[in-house]
Structure 1
Amino acid sequence: MNATIRRFGYPDTLIAAYDHWVVLLRPDQPTLGSLVLAATGEATALAALAPEAFAELKRVVGDIETALKDAVDYAKINYLMLMMVDPHVHWHVLPRYEGGRTVGALTIADAGWPKAPQLGAAATLSPGQIAQLGAWLRAKWPAAGR
């Protein structure tokens, strides 16, 4: 796995693995269920991805949207490709909703709704919360993407 994937806590944050992609729980949660969708290769530009990675992306995005709709019933979903600090191809996937969402003892409000997400208002998860939230999302993942 590339350095970007490791920086987002892999393997502890792994939700689902595919041939060319991994879906990780974002350790900082601006909204409940925030993820990182990362290419497993060394590409640092979107155009540098293999054609097979682009082909698989449709399935991965479909799985993300299905699982997050079930998990947090989002109203919108934002895919942010920033790649300023972490150079490998990845998106921050933020389910967007009005108000807050709760899992166990963790409640996270979408501080930016209905405008731009407020990344600085993110809740930083403890290792225990990462394990709990990760298990919760993996249980909601479409069987084909597990």
Structure 2
Amino acid sequence: MTNPTALKFGYPRTLVAETDHWLVLARPQQPTLGSLVLVCKDRAEAFSEISAEAFADFKSVVDGVERTLRSFVAYEKINYLMLMMVDRDVHFHVIPRYAGARQRDGRSFSDAGWPGQPALSPAVALDDGEGERLAVDLAALWRA
């Protein structure tokens, strides 16, 4: 069974990668180009509740995320935010950070918080087709 947090962030349409314990999803609201959500598949509402296997698997997920986003958006820094105020399942928002702007499909994606804390809004809202295309492109880089 897929948890509500994964569904809220567009699973399975926005799926970039999946491991035994984690889903990597393209975030429908893009505060910066390439923003992701990492959703733990364990039934857990606190980080301390995830399994030892999920903790071990997290290393490979982070490696994949950073390799993929480095290639895709050439980030300068990367932020992993575990907010879990509204969506209760264990998950992280991954925000690649950069000065200036990045372009995709005729749209500009700037980092409104650079060089300080990430600003989750304003964000570029992707429609379903844009979100799916972003996920497909990121998935191809993940597998490369």
Q: Structure 2: which 5+ residue stretches go unaligned?
A: none
Local SS of the residue matching 1:114: coil
Local SS of the residue matching 2:75: coil
Identity %: 51
Local SS of the residue matching 2:121: helix
Q: Residue 131 of structure 1: CA displacement?
A: 1.8
Q: Which amino acid is the alignment partner of residue 13 of structure 1? A: T
Alpha-carbon separation, structure 2, partners of 1:62 and 1:93? 13
Question: TM-score under structure 2 normalisation?
Answer: 0.96
Say yes or no: does 1:111 pair with 2:112. yes
Q: Which amino acid is the alignment partner of residue 83 of structure 2? A: L
Alpha-carbon separation, structure 2, partners of 1:109 and 1:57? 28
Q: Which amino acid is the alignment partner of residue 123 of structure 1? A: V
Alpha-carbon separation, structure 2, partners of 1:103 and 1:141? 18
Alpha-carbon separation, structure 2, partners of 1:106 and 1:137? 17
How many residues matched? 143
Alpha-carbon separation, structure 1, partners of 2:47 and 2:119? 25
Alpha-carbon separation, structure 1, partners of 2:14 and 2:30? 12
Alpha-carbon separation, structure 1, partners of 2:34 and 2:128? 15
Match of 2:64 in 1: 63
Match of 2:81 in 1: 80
Alpha-carbon separation, structure 2, partners of 1:93 and 1:30? 10
Task: Verify the 8 A CA contact 1:103 1:133 in the aligned structure 2.
Answer: no
After superposition, the Cα gap between the structure-2 partners of 1:48 and 1:54, relative to the gap in structure 1 and judged at 3 Å, is same
- What CA deviation, in whole Å up to 9, does each residue of 1:34-88 have, x standing for no partner? 0000101210000101000000100000000000000000000000000000000
Question: TM-score under structure 1 normalisation?
Answer: 0.95
Q: Which amino acid is the alignment partner of residue 120 of structure 2? A: L
Two-structure CA RMSD over aligned residues (Å): 0.9
Q: Which amino acid is the alignment partner of residue 56 of structure 1? A: D
Say yes or no: does 1:127 pair with 2:128. yes
Alpha-carbon separation, structure 1, partners of 2:143 and 2:56? 18
Q: Structure 1: which 5+ residue stretches go unaligned?
A: none
Q: Residue 14 of structure 1: CA displacement?
A: 0.6
